[in-house]
Structure 1
Amino acid sequence: MRILLTVPSSVARLHHLVPLGWALRTAGHQVQVAGRPSFTDSITLTGLVAVPVGDGVTGDATGDHRLDRQSDVDGLLDYFSLWRPDLVVWDEQAPAGAEAAQAGGVAAVRMLGPLADRSESGDVSGRTLDCLPPSLRPSGVPEDLAIRFIPYAGSAVLPAWLRRKPRRRRVHVALGAASGTTVTAFFEAIAGSDAEFLCELSDDRIPAGTRLPGNVRLFEDAPRDAVLASCEAAVHDGEPRMTLSALAGGLPQLVVAENAASADLASRVADEGGGLLVDPAGLRADAVGRLLADAELRANARRLQGEVAAMPSPREVVPHLVAVAGQR
């Protein structure tokens, strides 16, 4: 079977499709990824084959990186006549894939990843793959094909400090979108903790004059899933990929949310008892202490982890996609 994945010029959205792409590839199917010409280097870094379509624009003044122009649809249809795919899997920000599939009589499946906007499903024909466990989906979103979230962030090297047994409890910290004020407040809140905090943060994100506690290790390029595997909890700003990565690891989460809209998924995790949602202005040492000590919080996090683990893996989804293609 021939499967074409269509992606916008977004590394984060591309990376969510990669585990499925490789599951299809290792099952013996031909897999290619269509994106703008200027995005093909990002695609080939995943080991998958890139197909350039449309023009070379990756974005404009508004930050648009969608694959949704008529030229994108036309380019895909031209390629369909040559390669003749059996199935198109498209990201919601690459709807040219769905339009071309409909025009070309090809089966199509939409992929809803961590960054998808599920509040506006729109008029979508065909099937949908969703990585959110049922208890965390917004009300009114129909269940179709489930697929387990697999953390993937590209190539990385395991640093020496991750190849040694931790001497004390570790907490993963990702505050990349947080303000300098919040970063400073967090460092003040953890200064007296006996845990080690692994902060996914560059030096230039730390405000001048901020005192870095001795229990903090800064890093930038270590593989996130490996870091999380060495930790007992996670602190972050509500970013959906981080929320799901911590969820897959069964870690209780402390979410320091400056933007309620971007922390919507994290707030649902908190509603399910697997995390704490705190306002940056109210960030105190007691919230960090509860994150590490609350047995109920940890139990709920593991319950949600079990829900994620019960979802079909990308490899287990492959036969369902073969069946969808065969119905066309």
Structure 2
Amino acid sequence: MKVLFAIDPSIAHLYPMVPLAWALQNAGHEVRLASFGGFADRIAETGLTPVQLGDEEWAARVSDDALEPNGPEQAQQYADVLGLTADEREYWYLFYQYLLTPISDYLRVDRPEPHALIRFAQDWQPDLVIWDLTQAAGAIAARVSGAASARLVFAWDPTGWSLDRLAARPDELTAAGLDPNPLATVVGPLAEHYGVELDHELLVGQWTMDTAPPGLSLPTTTRKVPVRYVPYNGAAPMPEWLHAPSSRPRICLSLGESYRRFIRGDFNRTPMLLEALAELDVEVVATLNEVQLDGAVPPPNVRLVEYLPLNQILPTCAAVIHHGGLGTFQAAVAANLPQLVCDTLESIMLRFEEAEPEEPGAERDDTGVYRSGVEYGVRGPEEQEKEPVRWVMPAKKLEATPVSDYVISRGAGVRLNHQAQTVAELRESIRAVLTEPSYRQGAQAVHDVWRALPAPADVVPVLETMTADVRRTR
């Protein structure tokens, strides 16, 4: 069969899909991966076939007309009407403030990219379209070409969860002057352009491929197909210093790839972690760049590498310190490692920055500030033609709290909170994870649960059957 993947133009979204794409291709199916602009080269590096959509030079999130997130006042108003608990509000904010923005950018009727995806599907006639959370145009492409439609989510599904909550209270939302289904409103114009019925299936697919280990995923009414998250971290020559085992316990410090493209200074977290590690008898490999370091000087026991595939470094480590990202968490699970998850426990709700510099003419502090249209190394704030909205980001990865809660509840690691702990306390937490056997036992238990999930190759026959069933009914 022919399988088309619709992918957000970032490696954080591409890499989790690569093992499944290769499993399908290795089983004899034709596979194509479609994404925006110049991202085709990154897809080609995986050995899979890219389909370039639209202008090679254009990037939706790095332009003056990049859409702004929804504001905090309305986000809270929704949460109040929906009757959400404090924990549940975090899932809602993730959907409403973070996911809806790129979904909207990538669905714009006035841009050629979504039309190029749909035209390709009409011409190529795929049997199955697999799309990620930000690429809702994939569902429209599936509908107009007669293909089956499936989403792939990376450990949890805030979209499906939020749609279930919205569907339970449409009258209350309308009475409060709120859109009862903001995702349908965003998808609607492109669906109408192609004469596609705007139903629930169009918003969530006919099934959802769920990579979450039991206990981490969110409850939804969507039809789920479990699949093991197999880490793919890109290809690079293995450095010679990794060939032999380390003489001291090795720790990987990885604070993510995505935030360092948009946030300068890593929320002042990096200097504290480096200081905590400096007095331990360990070897640290830190995948940090100058944006994250922001002037911080690593101690002698820290080896800096801007990027190294995690599946090369993690098998040589005794533990991993990370930012709580789902990809890094899953890679650590696969490597059977205890985890120290950076998490401040604060809300992820985006807020407007209101304070001006105290000194006239002084530069404003960019630590923890997000601006639409800016990406370090691609387009700086000085290149913006308009005064951007400055958003205060939480000093943690969006999914850090669910990830740290999961790790702690399984005895597989601890939480590192640089806002609440001193450097000495951070150091003792790291020491404990390295020396107490219980954390290794907890990591083994989590690893065993991961191994029990069906591998991508095991899921291919399931996808073949489900796709054939859909095609027969159309």
Please, what TM-score do these two structures have when normalized by structure 1? 0.90
Query: 1:90-139, CA deviations, whole angstroms, 9 ceiling, x for partnerless residues?
Result: 11111111112123321111111258645435642301101111121134
Alignment equivalent of 1:111, drawn from 152, 156, 163: 152
Q: Secondary structure at the match of 1:134?
A: coil
1:120 aligns with 2:162: yes
Which ranges in structure 2 are unaligned for 5 or more consecutive residues?
Answer: 68-100, 165-199, 260-264, 344-394
Q: Secondary structure at the match of 2:208?
A: strand
1:69 aligns with 2:108: yes
Q: Distance in 2 between matches of 1:203 and 1:69?
A: 34
User: Which letter does structure 1 place at the counterpart of 2:14?
Assistant: L
Alignment equivalent of 1:90, drawn from 93, 113, 131: 131
- Give the aligned partner of residue 410 of structure 2: 272
Q: Distance in 1 between matches of 2:293 and 2:38?
A: 33
Alignment equivalent of 1:129, drawn from 189, 205, 209: 209
Identity within the alignment, %: 31
1:42 aligns with 2:128: no
Alignment equivalent of 2:238, drawn from 141, 158, 180: 158
Q: Distance in 2 between matches of 1:80 and 1:181?
A: 46
Q: CA deviation at 1:76?
A: 3.4
Contact 1:9–1:65 (Cα < 8 Å) also in 2: no
Instruction: Tell me which protein shows more helix as a share of its residues.
Output: 2
Instruction: Tell me which protein shows more strand as a share of its residues.
Output: 1
- Give the aligned partner of residue 335 of structure 2: 249
Quick one: structure 1 residues 126 and 55, their matched pair in 2 at CA, closer, same or farther if it must change by over 3 Å?
farther
- Give the aligned partner of residue 261 of structure 1: 398
1:159-178 equivalence runs, <5 A: 159-176=239-256, 177=259
- Give the aligned partner of residue 101 of structure 1: 142
Which ranges in structure 1 are unaligned for 5 or more consecutive residues?
Answer: none
- Give the aligned partner of residue 451 of structure 2: 309
| Greater Cα shift, 44-53 or 152-161 | 44-53
Contact 1:136–1:269 (Cα < 8 Å) also in 2: no
- Give the aligned partner of residue 188 of structure 1: 275
Q: Distance in 2 between matches of 1:160 and 1:114?
A: 34
1:53-68 equivalence runs, <5 A: 53-54=53-54, 57-59=58-60, 60-61=63-64, 62=66, 66=103, 67-68=106-107
Q: Secondary structure at the match of 2:215?
A: helix
| Greater Cα shift, 20-29 or 143-152 | 143-152
- Give the aligned partner of residue 286 of structure 1: 428
User: Which letter does structure 1 place at the counterpart of 2:141?
Assistant: A
Quick one: structure 1 residues 2 and 173, their matched pair in 2 at CA, closer, same or farther if it must change by over 3 Å?
same
| Greater Cα shift, 263-272 or 316-325 | 263-272
Q: CA deviation at 1:161?
A: 0.7
User: Which letter does structure 1 place at the counterpart of 2:449?
Assistant: E
| Greater Rg by CA | 2
- Give the aligned partner of residue 236 of structure 1: 322
Contact 1:9–1:36 (Cα < 8 Å) also in 2: yes
Q: CA deviation at 1:287?
A: 0.8
1:221 aligns with 2:262: no
User: Which letter does structure 2 place at the counterpart of 1:261?
Assistant: L
Q: CA deviation at 1:252?
A: 1.1
Q: Secondary structure at the match of 1:137?
A: coil
Quick one: structure 1 residues 25 and 125, their matched pair in 2 at CA, closer, same or farther if it must change by over 3 Å?
closer
Q: CA deviation at 1:301?
A: 1.4
Please, what TM-score do these two structures have when normalized by structure 2? 0.64
Quick one: structure 1 residues 11 and 121, their matched pair in 2 at CA, closer, same or farther if it must change by over 3 Å?
farther
User: Which letter does structure 2 place at the counterpart of 1:183?
Assistant: T
Q: Secondary structure at the match of 1:145?
A: strand
Q: Distance in 2 between matches of 1:273 and 1:87?
A: 39
1:212 aligns with 2:298: yes
- Give the aligned partner of residue 319 of structure 1: 461
Q: CA deviation at 1:55?
A: 5.1
User: Which letter does structure 1 place at the counterpart of 2:107?
Assistant: D
Aligned length: 327
Contact 2:8–2:134 (Cα < 8 Å) also in 1: yes
Q: Distance in 1 between matches of 2:50 and 2:237?
A: 24
Quick one: structure 1 residues 200 and 76, their matched pair in 2 at CA, closer, same or farther if it must change by over 3 Å?
closer
Q: Distance in 2 between matches of 1:17 and 1:314?
A: 10
Q: CA deviation at 1:54?
A: 4.6
Q: CA deviation at 1:51?
A: 1.7
Q: Secondary structure at the match of 2:131?
A: strand
User: Which letter does structure 2 place at the counterpart of 1:23?
Assistant: A
Contact 2:340–2:413 (Cα < 8 Å) also in 1: yes
Q: Distance in 2 between matches of 1:309 and 1:132?
A: 12
Q: CA deviation at 1:72?
A: 4.4
Q: Secondary structure at the match of 2:299?
A: coil
Contact 1:247–1:301 (Cα < 8 Å) also in 2: yes
